[in-house]
Amino acid sequence: MKEELITKAYEVAKERYAALGVDVEKVMEQLQKVAISMHCWQADDVLGFESGSSLTGGIQTTGNYPGKARNMEELRGDILKAASYIPGKHRLNLHEIYGDFGGTFVDRDQVEVKHFESWMQWAAENGMKLDFNSTSFSHPKSGNLSLSNPDKSIRDFWIEHTKRCRAIAEEMGRRQGDSCIMNLWVHDGSKDVTVNRMKYRELFKDSLDQIFATEYKNMKDCLESKVFGIGLESYTVGSNEFCVGYSVQHQKLITIDTGHFHPTESAADKVSSMMLFVELMLHVSRPIRWDSDHVTIMDDPTLELFQEIVRCNALDRVHIGLDYFDASINRIGAYVIGTRAAQKCMLRALLEPLAKLREYEAAGQGFQRLALLEEAKALPWNAVWDMFCLKNNVPVGEEFIAEIEKYEAEVTSKRN
Ligand code: RNT
Ligand code: ZN
């Protein structure tokens, strides 16, 4: 697109927003600082680099689009390719199963910092900071219960795994000079009715106490709840109430995965409620009827979620990550669409004429508030977005489609 045209539209947009008390230049600076933690697992359908190749733990990818990354080199290449179409500097969120195991099998209770040495180097070279996740799924000992398993040897195995993951996250955080956010999600649950709801939760709580016994300075722990997993429909040990209760008591972060609530529940409304007590991590996803992990788009729930972050003035206390895995479309395209969508939602949230809206609300002017909220939807935020892309030297608008098609023709379509 012509630079001149983008600049012209941007200047007009700036005036429109200024009339409503919004400083577009300042918004651009704020957006520049918003780092999104890109999840490494969209590139290969959550398989990772252990020997096993099937995904368990109640999560599923569907689709068999050709070209998924088959090894670390391909995965890194794909992520860098995707990042080249996304404005700004972002983070990379790794799962333990993506370690650099050097072609040997390293069991989960044996993982060490050295298995992430090459990742830390790679991330530093590419100006990316890392976040981390322990991995309870896709392992012979995963079963239906990991950290809440009544069998002590299995429980201890996962406790050891998670402790080691925290030590790795600590080292990542120390080296990058910025906290590594480590998410802890376990799939533990039951397909059918259980008469031991309390027992498993007690065990989970006890395992967490053991895992968190070591205090670290350069990493932050998050707990992620869930409604249910596939094959684990009747009961989830780490329910929302469990995770909120534990996190508030122990001052851990809460991860809000937008696919982990009942379909009519608003994830956005949770931000202010939880923010008052703990810091937050987000897994921005797109649930369709269930936790289907479709690619994030600029839909109303996502927009409302980001509006809440801005309205709560919580940009520095909410860590934003993505979590979806669609195997039915070009996976690099999936990264680009989802990350850009999250950024667009954030931009629109930052451009909201909040001062004016709050003035109306304080004066009890309900009609005026609703009218401006409606009109704000049609303000020229897209001109600001185009300028943001231009300034960041990434494709403006749909220009990235052709580029991803080219990468597909030259690289990913040749994988089998
Ligand atoms: C699963 C959780 C979890 C996973 C990743 C792979 O329902 O959302 O965050 O998606 O850890
Ligand atoms: Zn998640």
Gyration radius (Cα) of the chain, Å: 22
pLDDT at 416: 79
At residue 278, φ and ψ (nearest 5 deg) are -145, 170
Q: How many angstroms is it from 71 CA to the middle of ligand 1?
A: 21
d(CA 252, CA 208): 11
d(CA 356, CA 193): 52
pTM of structure: 0.97
Quick one: tokens of 251?
């001052």
Cα-to-chain-centroid distance, residue 270: 16
Q: Which of 165, 185, 240, 285 to mutate to test the pocket of ligand 1 (most atoms within 8 A of CB)?
A: 185
Q: Which atom of ligand 1 is nearest to the CA of 293?
A: 10
d(CA 398, CA 297): 14
Quick one: tokens of 108?
């989960």
d(CA 205, CA 248): 13
Over residues 304-332, the pLDDT tens digits come to: 999 999 999 999 999 999 999 999 999 99
Residues with CB under 5 A from ligand 2 (ion): 257, 283, 323
At residue 286, φ and ψ (nearest 5 deg) are -145, 100
Minimum CA distance residue for ligand 1 atom 1:
59
Q: Which atom of ligand 1 is nearest to the CA of 133?
A: 11
d(CA 169, CA 166): 5
d(CA 53, CA 49): 9
Angle between helices 300-311 and 268-275 (to 10 degrees): 20
Please say whether the dihedral angle defined by the alpha carbons of residues 166, 107, 93 and 159, taken in this order, is positive or negative: negative
Q: Which atom of ligand 1 is nearest to the CA of 323?
A: 10
Q: How many angstroms is it from 322 CA to the middle of ligand 1?
A: 10
Q: What is the pLDDT along the chain (416 residues), one digit of tens a residue?
A: 689 999 999 999 999 999 999 999 999 999 999 999 999 999 999 999 998 779 999 999 999 999 999 999 999 999 999 999 999 999 999 999 999 999 999 999 999 999 999 999 999 999 999 999 999 999 999 999 999 999 999 999 999 999 999 999 999 999 999 999 999 999 999 999 999 999 999 999 999 999 999 999 999 999 999 999 999 999 999 999 999 999 999 999 999 999 999 999 999 999 999 999 999 999 999 999 999 999 999 999 999 999 999 999 999 999 999 999 999 999 999 999 999 999 999 999 999 999 999 999 999 999 999 999 999 999 999 999 999 999 999 999 999 999 999 999 999 999 97
Q: How many angstroms is it from 133 CA to the middle of ligand 2?
A: 10
Residue 166, Cβ neighbours under 10 Å: how many? 21
In the chain, the amino acid numbered 397 is G
Residues in the ligand 1 pocket, defined by CB under 6 Å? 41, 46, 59, 133, 185, 224, 226, 257, 283, 291, 323
| Burial of 374 from C-beta contacts in 10 A (0-12 / 13-18 / 19+) | exposed
How would DSSP label each residue in 29-94?
Answer: HHHHT--EEEEGGGTTTT--SSS-----SS-------S----SHHHHHHHHHHHHTTSSS--EEEE
Task: Show Cβ contacts of residue 46 under 8 Å, excluding neighbours closer than 6 positions.
Answer: 55, 59, 61, 95, 138, 325
Question: Catalytic amino acids?
Answer: 185, 224, 226, 257, 260, 283, 291, 293, 323
pLDDT at 1: 61
User: Are 323 and 302 in contact, with CB atoms under 8 Å apart?
Assistant: no
Minimum CA distance residue for ligand 1 atom 3:
185
- Selection from 235, 212, 71 nearest residue 144 by Cα: 235
- Selection from 296, 316, 390, 374 nearest residue 28 by Cα: 390
Minimum CA distance residue for ligand 1 atom 11:
185
The three-point CA angle 321-163-122 to 5° equals 50
The number of residues making up the chain comes to: 416
Distances 81 to 48, 75, 332 between C-alpha atoms, Å: 19, 10, 7
3-state secondary structure of 140: coil
Burial pattern 342-366, b for ≥16 Cβ within 10 A else e, equals bbbbbbbbbbbbbebbeebeeeeee
- Selection from 89, 98, 101 nearest residue 126 by Cα: 89
Minimum CA distance residue for ligand 1 atom 2:
185
Distances 120 to 49, 162, 248 between C-alpha atoms, Å: 16, 19, 31
Residue 60, Cβ neighbours under 10 Å: how many? 18
